[in-house]
Amino acid sequence: MARISVAWSNLMHERTRLGVAIAGVAFAVILIFMNLGFMGALIATATNFYEQFNAELFLISPETLEISTSTAFPRERLYQVAGVDGVGRIMPLYSEYLLWRNPETGVSRAIFVYGINPNDPAFLMPELQGSEARRILSQPDTVFIDRLSRPEFGPQDIGTTTEADRRRATIGGSYALGGGFAADGTLIMSDQNFVRYLEPRPLSLVNVGLVKLAPDASPEKVADTMRSLLPADVVVYTKAGIIDHDSAYWLESTSIGFIFSMGVVVSFVVGAVIVYQILFTDIRDHLPEYATMKAMGYRSQYLFKIVLQEAVLLAILGYVPGLAAALGLYHLTATATAGTLPVAMNGGRVLFVLVLTLLMCSLSGLISVRKAVTADPAEIF
Amino acid sequence: MIKRIPLAWLNLTHDRRRFATSLAGVGFAVLLMFMFNGFMNALYDSQLQLLNRFNGEIIIVNRLRTNMFVPRAFARRRLYQARAFDGVQDAYAMYISEVNWKNPETRKSRGVRVIAINPDEPVLNIPEIETYQQLLKLPETALMDTKSRVEVGPVEPGIISELADRRIRLVGTFTMGTDFASGNGNLLMSDQNFLRYFADRGPEEDKRSFATVDIGVVKLEPGTNVERMVNVLRENLPNDVLVMARDGDNGFVIRERNYWQENTNIGFVFSLLTSMGFFVGIILVYQILYTDVADHWAEYATLKAMGYKNGYLLGVVMQEAMIISVLGFIPGVLVSQLLYTAAGNATGLFFQMTPERIVNLLIATFIMCLVSGAIAVRKVQTTDPADVF
């Protein structure tokens, strides 16, 4: 108790400087949170549409890097696993980019298209359930459009007629899915329409094979059985597995991972420099006191402890407002980008950054304490 | 009247070690701003590397091609039509397609962008095309971009691999860099070879021929007015194609940059991070100046007791702020340059430090230091000499 109070009093002695120190740590914390938040949001947007896929297992070609750069595989592979114990239903999913014309401006943009058999419950969105939705989907040249598509694609009202790749298209309904990282917008249409628009694509080649399991089947076990049956031209993933697969692609094969990791590292270093300056000045100002303590018989270890305590206090005092401000900035970001960058806090990140902050402050403390430790009481006075 | 003493300079350099730390502090703040700003610019600039190498003043594309991503070609006839106009020296065709390249070491396929041209025509400002001109005319040969991502495997002459499930041999390399539309790298080949790979890729892929062109590059006679020529071509060519100047405010290059600015969150993300770097800088510099003021408090109080006004003290602190902002900026720029090189090598992105960007950040650093100085000086101004002693 007595020890803490030395560290505490040292810090509290000069209020303004303490305030600046806290602000410095807080800003470093915010910077780290923002970099991690942006990275997390980008990865989340890139994969969170998988949550709306009504399947436990996913079959893709080993050449598929992520959903929008997929290589199609033979539909027979799906039939091969249809009889495996525990499989409830197999559903082929076709995907491709298509040029969608904004009926108001006349400008065309690439939109990402999913083709499904209208009788397959491939997606979980409520608008696509029921016989009425099936009926609309089955109509020729009729599509459902993603309400989260960018506004540049034009109006999304039911009945809007426009052109998709030189062919008439009518909007028969809408849903909310999100296009991830690779697509500005998405469409869902029947497999028959898919063939019409994306000729010469045949239906015998599937982009993603969706497997809905029987209610009590274990995804892992069924996946293992499938792997032993299937040739090497398809791979089987669970839902968590395919999300990891796509995330890894975006992190490693694009510069996203590099850019924001570097942001975290540099923010960490800057934070450490700020804390070092504070502690160093503090030690220099109290050098006579430290020397007196040493002359009185306190060991260097004791001084170490005081400085480390100051460092940890700074870390905590800076972390709390930093976290609060980061939460505010997350909210601001999500609002300012109209939901396209859904930065959100999670428990793991809160802990991770706290550990980083403690590490950052302790590190600076250890570097700055050398001066106090080497102080010779005789020289000070 | 005594000669004016450079008080600010002496205050700062009095303790050499702390002076160095102060400069390092400013340098770090500069680095932080340069880094985030650099990422933003690199992401934008990288999109323009191919466009900036088009060897012509006017670009013709399909009207639907709103950015390099949209795979829409136009009739080659339009280029022949364009050649008929006075002032047009030549009109070159460029074919672009995206296809899988097999990494010869890992045997994994990755998408690359294939750019095809007639090797006898100066379509692109890439000197290696002339160097390897004769080799490019051989069947199944290509040049690979040395800045391709590591996923494509080794990039050197002599590599034999597969492109679109067909044999290909690298006869040389060139240096350009990747962008959002280029996948994992760029491959350059002759138009004849392009036909070999893309004329018939099976029933499920579009067939390519010389009848349609992805990008038309129009070279004008020297001294021709570009703007006037753009208007002439616009009026006379059918409106299935879009005619644009390459450069200028309404040019093709700017349009591509604007597309990425308007359609991604890149600007928002990195502007926010850059501005936070600015605030961190204010805090760093404030600490430096505040410590300095605190250390020389007695001296400042003495000056006040001697009759110097607050304005003079403010001037001293502001001078200190300006000195460290300029001197700290220099190591900051140098370290940032190293960081840009390292980041460019690691990502294949195009990091560029233009004089304009340096000046902009120098001004930001300057403001940052002045703000910190103004806050730090308040303590001196409220100083009562009687309190200090």
Phi, psi torsion values for B43, nearest 5 degrees? -65, -40
Task: Test B287 with A38 for CB contact under 8 angstroms.
Answer: no
Give me the mean pLDDT over the B354-383 stretch. Answer: 86
pLDDT cut 70: percent of chain B above it: 96
pLDDT cut 70: percent of chain A above it: 97
Nearest chain B Cα distance for residue A131, angstroms? 32
pLDDT of residue A63: 85
Q: Is A113 on the interface with B (CB under 8 A)?
A: no
Encode B216-254: b = buried (16+ Cβ within 10 Å), e = exposed: bbbbbeeebebeebbebbeeebeeebbbbbbbeeebbbb
Task: Test A266 with B31 for CB contact under 8 angstroms.
Answer: yes
pLDDT of residue B19: 85
- Residues within 8 A of B (CB atoms), A 160-189 only: 184
Residue A380 has pLDDT above 70, yes or no: no
Tokens of residue B224, six digits: 């021709």
pLDDT per position as a tens digit, A304-331:
888 888 889 999 999 999 999 999 999 9
Q: Which burial class, exposed, middle or buried, applies to A197 when counting CB atoms under 10 A from its CB (0-12, 13-18, 19+)?
A: buried
Which has the closest alpha carbon to A333: A38, A45, A39, A44?
A: A38
pLDDT of residue B1: 36
Q: Is A72 on the interface with B (CB under 8 A)?
A: yes
| Nearby residues of A159 by Cβ (< 8 Å), 6 or more positions away | A170, A171
Tokens of residue A202, six digits: 């045949």
Q: Is A253 on the interface with B (CB under 8 A)?
A: yes
Q: Is B206 on the interface with A (CB under 8 A)?
A: yes
Cis omega (within 30 of 0) for bond into A219:
no
pLDDT per position as a tens digit, A266-288:
889 888 888 888 888 788 777 88
Query: What does pLDDT average to over chain A?
Result: 88
Question: How far is Cα B318 from Cα A57, in angstroms, rounded to an integer?
Answer: 66
Which has the closest alpha carbon to A368: A10, A20, A120, A101?
A: A10
Question: How far is Cα B351 from Cα B153, in angstroms, rounded to an integer?
Answer: 23
Task: Test B273 with A27 for CB contact under 8 angstroms.
Answer: no
Residue B171 has pLDDT above 60, yes or no: yes
Question: How far is Cα A15 from Cα B168, in angstroms, rounded to an integer?
Answer: 70
Distances (CA, A) of A130 to A133, A192, B170: 6, 19, 55
Assign 3-class secondary structure to A290-347: HHHHHHCCCCHHHHHHHHHHHHHHHHHHHHHHHHHHHHHHHHHHHHHCCCCCCCCCCH
Question: How far is Cα A101 from Cα A169, in angstroms, rounded to an integer?
Answer: 9
Q: H or E segment at A245?
A: helix A239-253
Question: How far is Cα B342 from Cα B339, in angstroms, rounded to an integer?
Answer: 5
pLDDT of residue A290: 80
- Residues within 8 A of A (CB atoms), B 61-120 only: 64, 66, 69-70, 72, 100, 108-111
Q: Which residue has the tokens 């089955």?
A: A138
Distances (CA, A) of B259 to A40, A96, A304, B46, B262: 24, 22, 56, 13, 5
Judge contact between A179 and A52, C-beta under 8 A. Answer: no
Q: Is A63 on the interface with B (CB under 8 A)?
A: yes
Specify the DSSP class assigned to residue A1.
-
Q: Look up the pTM and report it.
A: 0.80
Question: How far is Cα B385 from Cα B389, in angstroms, rounded to an integer?
Answer: 7
Which has the closest alpha carbon to A182: A70, A57, A308?
A: A70
Residue B247 has pLDDT above 80, yes or no: yes
- DSSP string over B79-132: HHHHHTSTTEEEEEEEEEEEEEEE-TTT--EEEEEEEEE-TTS--B--THHHHT
| Nearby residues of A307 by Cβ (< 8 Å), 6 or more positions away | A7, A279, A283, A365, A366, A368, A369, A372
Residue B65: pLDDT band with limits 50, 70, 90 = confident
- DSSP string over A204-242: TEESEEEEEEPTT--HHHHHHHHHHHS-TT-EEEEHHHH
| Nearby residues of A345 by Cβ (< 8 Å), 6 or more positions away | A37, A326, A327, A330
Residue of B nearest to A107 (CA): B64
pLDDT per position as a tens digit, B103-136:
999 988 888 999 999 999 999 999 999 999 999 9
Q: What is the ipTM of this complex?
A: 0.78
Question: How far is Cα A30 from Cα B270, in angstroms, rounded to an integer?
Answer: 14
pLDDT per position as a tens digit, B254-307:
999 998 888 778 888 899 889 988 988 888 888 888 878 877 878 888 888 888
pLDDT per position as a tens digit, A191-245:
999 999 998 889 999 999 999 999 989 999 999 999 999 999 999 999 999 999 9
Tokens of residue A108, six digits: 């065309």
Task: Test A28 with B265 for CB contact under 8 angstroms.
Answer: no
Question: How far is Cα A115 from Cα A128, in angstroms, rounded to an integer?
Answer: 13
Name which of A24, A63, A205 is nearest B283 (Cβ-Cβ). A24
